Amino acid sequence: MSELLKVPTMAEFMAQGKQPEVLFWVGSAGSFDDRAKKITKAFVKILNSANVEFAVLGTEESCTGDIAKRAGNEFLFQMQAVTNIEVLNAYEVKKIVTCDPHSFNCLKNEYPGLGGNYEVLHHTQFIKELINSRRLAVQQDVYKDKRITFHDPCYLGRANNEYDAPRDLLKLINARIFEMRRHKQTALCCGAGGAQMFKEPEKGDMDINVLRTEDALETRPNIIATGCPYCNTMMTDGIKAKEKENDVVVMDVAELIANAQNL
Amino acid sequence: MEYLPNVLFAIALIVGIGYFTKNVKKLIRNIKLGQDVDVGGHKSQRWKNMAMIALGQSKMVNRPIAGILHIIVYVGFIIINIEVLEIIIDGLMGSHRIFSGIGALYGVLIGSFEVLAVLVFIAVVLFWVRRNIIRLKRFWNSEMTSWPKNDGNYILYFEMVLMTLFLIMNATDVHFQAMNSGNVVSQFIAAWFDGVSESGLHLIERSAWWLHILGILVFLNYLYFSKHLHILLAFPNTYYGKLVPKGQLNNLDSVTSEVKMMMDPNADPFATPAEGADTEEPAKFGASDVQDLNWVQLLNAYTCTECGRCTSACPANLTGKKLSPRKIMMDTRDRLEEVGKNIDANHGEFKDDGKQLLGDYVTHEELWACTTCNACVEECPVSIDPLSIILEMRRYLVMEQSAAPVELNNMMTNIENNGAPWPYNQMDRLNWKNE
């Protein structure tokens, strides 16, 4: 399987004197988290099948600093940002795509003020572009009539007003989409944002991810789709807490698209 | 003696407006205790936001029942106040219904005021029922006790009384009823006063007239002490609201200059500052008290009308954590008022009172429960940004006090050492490709 994946690095492109079409920002979760790595690979399969000339930074990539910023450590964030911007600008990167809405938000909105100006896309937006320009086609029967609900990642939805791209992709694979009571602008957070992913929650009645999973289960889904590695972890844990792991799976939109192509 | 009512009226007006002006000045002084923030440019977008969100109430109707009731009260409030203009002229000149000379239009105007007055009365009663009988959860959170709870009800009682006085004033006005134009509602109320002598009616009419205008002056002065200030501050607050994407949190300039110096291989760490360079005391990172926040954040605090939409959408609050975005705003205002009073008592200078916003009002536990999901910011009908205040206090905790929860310190150490929040080697970042 892995030999099929073509994952060139920026350094390799540079050595050949070429520029890729887009830089794929993998992110820390996409690089190291076992569940998120599957999303990374699914997205690479899509890129490969659409013949996208992309590159990754590989070992030259470092945490965006987004989590540190939201935890209050502006120093660490800016150290990370300035270091990453040096690398990105040295490679003359113009366009970035990422599967992580937190990286997406940070690169798109917070790097420009520190000298990093790029066109930044979330992977659902990029895949939509590929389909619109007929570089990628999806088969429509794999998920036909499956009940899917989409959990809006805060940093894609409220933070950047992108509600349509992931839903448009779900429509393409012919799934039946059932919206949760709280969706789009009123979607409930999965509980991971603002550095919560890395600490125990404060004392309360229940965990946020369990509440959000209850929202999702009300739609009686076969699949909970999302577009964020952290949301994915939180919702997967929520499904386990509700003992529904045999009935419901949590999947990234990129995985659904890749599966719909039998990639 | 003939001019006594006119003189009394003028005095009431001067005292009422004078005291209000004094408090408005105090309000502006307090808001200006905040740090400077760049709000320049984008004027057309700002005016548009104010027109849509404050004037047009666009976000109120996200919750249709409260939204529509609120629009009735809001429209009624603005339109009925045209009547106040007549009352003021009458009061000063000793005239009676001076605008009635304009003919049929007068009847149309007063008629619509009467209908609105009834609608406002009904809407306000329904608001009261939602608060006190149905007991909507967001009006009963732990921060909504004592004054905040009473304040909400006092405002409703005020409006009920003012609307009633307006209708009674019209109903008992013999001259106005005789005109039989515009008394669409008051003619029915007039029937309740059948049998009262003409002089008796006159006495009731005058009393209602005086209580109505005095009530309005008292209400005007009540605003400064109440959450009801939003009727004025919603306008500047929506004007100065955040324009960039909600996810974009500001980069601290004071940090940028230090980071740039650390990253510059040619920088001499032992160099003395250049001649004329900024030699002020080093900037404080983040906020521990209201003066560290920027003035828009302080304006936010005065604008908050404690509706609780933010808190009712907050994932932390919904799952029983102590964090309530509304409480963050209320605490900020309470502390700012305390600081303001301190300044008044100490001849214009703030004397350290051993208290601050962080710790004495807002606990660490509240701050660390925030997921930065922006649900509170999205919900606010008047563009308040509680998240920005939470972030400023987190910054103070982390950068000035190193007081982050231990797990977060571990996470940040990992980022510093190996460029990921987990303890994985940066050199392994592409290993997934071959797994």
B258 touches chain A (CB under 8 A): yes
B320 in the same domain as B235 = no
Residue B187 dihedral angles phi and psi, to the nearest 5°: -65, -30
Mean pLDDT of A98-117: 98
- Within a domain: residue B246? no
CATH of domain A138-260: 3.40.50
B235/B259 same-domain check: no
Q: Do B90 and B201 sit in the same domain of this protein?
A: yes
CB contact under 8 A, A109 and B248: yes
Nearest by CB: A159 against B318, B319, B374: B374
Res B265: pLDDT: 74
Tens of pLDDT, residue by residue over A163-179, are 999 999 999 988 899 99
Q: How far apart are CA A135 and CA A47, in angstroms?
A: 10
Please indicate if any CB of chain B lies within 8 Å of the CB of A1.
Answer: no
Q: Does a structural domain hold residue B383?
A: yes
Does any domain span residue B312? yes
β-pairing, A54-55 with A119-122?
unpaired
> Which residue of A lies nearest to B427 if distances are taken between CA atoms?
A59
pLDDT for res B307: 95
User: Smallest CA–CA separation between A61 and chain B, in Å?
Assistant: 8
| Alpha carbon separation from B186 to A209, B172, B174, B176, B391 (Å, rounded) | 56, 8, 11, 10, 54
| Average confidence score pLDDT of chain B | 93
Residue B46 covered by a domain: no
The token duo for B119 is: 């609608």
Confirm if B273 and A135 have CB atoms less than 8 A apart.
no
Fold of A10-131: Rossmann fold (3.40.50)
Q: Are A10-131 and A138-260 the same fold in CATH? A: yes
> Chain B contact for A211, CB < 8 A?
yes
- Put simply, whether B416 touches A (Cβ < 8 Å) is yes
Q: Which of B371, B389, B416, B435 to mutate to test the interface with A (most CBs of A within 10 A)?
A: B371
Domain at B369, CATH number: 1.10.1060
Q: Which residues of B touch A9 (CB under 8 A)?
A: 430
Q: Domain check: are B293 and B209 in the same one? A: no
Q: Give the pLDDT confidence score for residue B300 in this predicted structure.
A: 98
pLDDT at A1: 45
The size of the A-B interface in CB pairs under 8 A is: 219
Instruction: Give the residue from chain A lying closest to B365, CA to CA.
Output: A202
| C-alpha to C-alpha distance for A159 and B247, rounded to whole angstroms | 4
Q: Tell whether B409 is covered by a domain.
A: yes
Instruction: Give the H/E segment covering residue A119.
Output: strand A119-122
Chain B residues whose beta carbon lies within 8 Å of the beta carbon of residue A194: 370-373
Mean pLDDT over all residues of chain A?
95
In B291-303, which positions are buried (b, 16+ CB within 10 angstroms) versus exposed (e)?
A: bbbbbbbbbbbbb
Shared domain for B216 and B362, answered yes or no, is: no
Contact predicate B323/B370, CB 8 Å: yes
Contacts 24+ apart (CB under 8 A), B251-259: B251/A74, B251/A78, B251/A110, B251/A113, B251/A114, B252/A74, B252/A78, B252/B285, B252/B395, B254/B283, B254/B285, B255/A74, B255/A75, B255/A78, B255/B285, B256/A78, B256/A114, B258/A75, B259/A75, B259/A78, B259/A79, B259/A82
Identity of the residue in A30, A75, A193 whose CB atom sits nearest the CB atom of B259: A75
Specify if B275 maps to a domain.
no
Distance CA B106, CA B112 (A): 10
Note whether A211 contacts B320, CB cutoff 8 Å: no
Domain locations along chain A: 10-131, 138-260
Contact present, B160 and B129 (Cβ < 8 Å):
no
Q: Is residue B359 part of a domain?
A: yes
B319 shares its domain with B379: yes
Q: Are residues B228 and B304 in the same domain?
A: no
pTM of this structure = 0.94
Q: Are residues B312 and B235 in the same domain?
A: no
B203 and B258 in one domain?
no
Q: Which residue of A has its CA nearest to B430?
A: A58
Q: Minimal Cα–Cα distance from B253 to chain A, Å?
A: 10
What are A179-198's pLDDT values in tens digits?
999 999 999 999 999 999 99
Amino acid at B298: L
Q: Is B373 part of the contact surface with chain A (CB cutoff 8 Å)? A: yes
Would B175 be classed as within a structural domain?
Answer: yes
User: Are residues B221 and B257 both part of a single domain?
Assistant: no
Question: Into how many domains does chain B fold?
Answer: 2
Boundary residue ending a domain (B184, B204, B239): B239
pLDDT value of position B49: 96
Same domain, B322 and B182: no
Judge contact between A136 and A50, C-beta under 8 A: yes
Domain that holds residue B343: 253-265+282-425
CA B70 to chain CA centroid, nearest Å: 15
Q: Which pLDDT does position A2 carry in this prediction?
A: 45
Q: What are the pLDDT tens digits along chain B (435 aa)?
A: 678 889 999 999 999 999 999 999 999 999 999 999 999 889 999 999 999 999 999 999 999 999 999 999 999 988 888 889 999 999 998 888 898 888 889 999 999 999 999 999 999 999 999 999 999 999 999 999 899 999 999 999 999 999 999 999 999 999 899 988 889 999 999 999 988 999 999 999 999 999 999 999 999 999 999 999 999 999 999 999 999 999 999 999 989 988 888 877 777 666 665 555 555 556 789 999 999 999 999 999 999 999 999 999 999 999 999 999 999 999 999 999 999 999 999 999 999 999 999 999 999 999 999 999 999 999 999 999 999 999 999 999 999 999 999 999 999 999 999 999 999 999 999 999 998
Helix spans in chain A (H): 10-15, 27-32, 34-49, 66-70, 74-90, 101-105, 123-132, 164-172, 208-217, 229-241, 253-260
ipTM tops the 0.90 cut: yes
Name which of A78, A202, A228 to mutate to probe chain B: the one with the most chain B Cβ atoms within 10 A of its Cβ: A202
Are B174 and B308 part of one and the same domain?
A: no
Using a CB–CB cutoff of 8 Å, tell me whether B347 touches chain A.
no
A105 three-class SS? helix
